[in-house]
Amino acid sequence: MNTFGRNFTFTSFGESHGEAVGGVIDGVPARFKIDFESIRHDLERRAGKHTILPHSARADHEIDEIEWLSGIQDGMTLGTPIAFLIRNSNQRPQDYEHLKEVFREGHADWVYEQKYGIRDYRGGGRASARETVARVVAGNIAKQILQQKGVTIEAELVQIGEQTNPALFADYLQEMQQQGDSIGGIIQCRVRGLEVGTGEPIFDKLQARLAYAILSINACKGFDYGSGFEGVAKKGSEINGFSGGIIGGISDGTDIIFRCVFKPTPTTPLSLQKLGITAPIRSDVCVAVRAVPIVEAMTALVLVDYQLFR
């Protein structure tokens, strides 16, 4: 289904090349002052602005205006559901005509057609990364609520391909784009200021909800926290309590630290060329770059869902 959360819920709607994408946020307290500039800033980060992406790889044109439909009056929340939409003004279905007969490898088109008996080949329809624009809006509001309680969330790229030196990321991406190729990346996210006690034992452990949220992001292939996958080689006697901020499913008062990995998009100029398609395609040289604010958004949605009702 298209709703995330239990107490603070976010319902997402919209196809990439339909009328609009948007969402309904339910559970926002009344009388909270919304910082619209902060929302816009995260939308810009998602479009590639303020990032290391080569200018030609950015999607600045995608930053349309948000129409607020309900739940806010004079910039203050009413305690009622906040509905918003962002029109797909930038609909360019003609860009995708050449794909009508070709299922893009590694894309969701084929499974969608199998499952629903329908294929919306234009930009992946609902499966498109366009949908994440609504997540960023909702997640930013969640971040604002958390910030008021002293909780901050910051994600950043820590690896691109085999490169782990951030100073070299920009050049690396430039080169990759010149090759018409794409590359994977790892994002690390840190939550500061969370008090002891967020999370539930057994099934709703904090790490379980975070993993669920993060792996719902397109192209994400893995999640770990604390000692993570690298900790496999550690002995019990060496562990020294690097908890990643969570013990027994519950925040322990130290920073939450987790990582997630994003695969390279398989639809690149290079790959299309192999299929004999030369038409231009909008594609990300490294989806992880633009995923950074999405990771923050999903993290915020998880935390606020627990937080509000403690």
Query: Site residues for a second copy, window 185-244 (CB under 8 A)?
Result: 185-186, 196-197, 200-205, 207-216, 218, 220-229, 231-237, 239, 241, 243-244
Q: Which is nearer to a second copy, 9 or 38 (CB)?
A: 9
From the CB of residue 270, how many other CB atoms can be counted at a distance below 10 Å?
Answer: 12
- For the record, the structure tokens of 260 come out as 């997630």
Least distance in Å: CB of 177 to a second copy?
11
CA distance 48 to 62: 10
Q: Does 138 bind a second copy (CB under 8 A)?
A: no
Any idea what DSSP says for residue 130? G
**3-class DSSP state for residue 240?**
coil
Sole binder of a second copy in the list 51, 140, 144, 268 (CB under 8 A):
268
Task: Tell me which residues in 85-104 interact with a second copy (CB under 8 A).
Answer: 85
The yes or no reply on residue 54 touching a second copy (CB under 8 A) is: no
Q: Is 115 in the site for a second copy (CB under 8 A)?
A: yes
CB closer to a second copy out of 44 and 260:
260
Contact 42, 87 (CB under 8 A): no
- Look at strands 82-87 and 220-225 and give their pairing: unpaired
CA distance 173 to 181: 9
Single-letter amino acid code for the residue at 161? G
Q: How far is the CB of 32 from a second copy (least distance, A)?
A: 11
Taking the complex as a whole, the smallest distance from the CB of residue 61 to a second copy amounts, in Å, to 21
Q: By CB under 8 A, is residue 82 in contact with a second copy?
A: yes
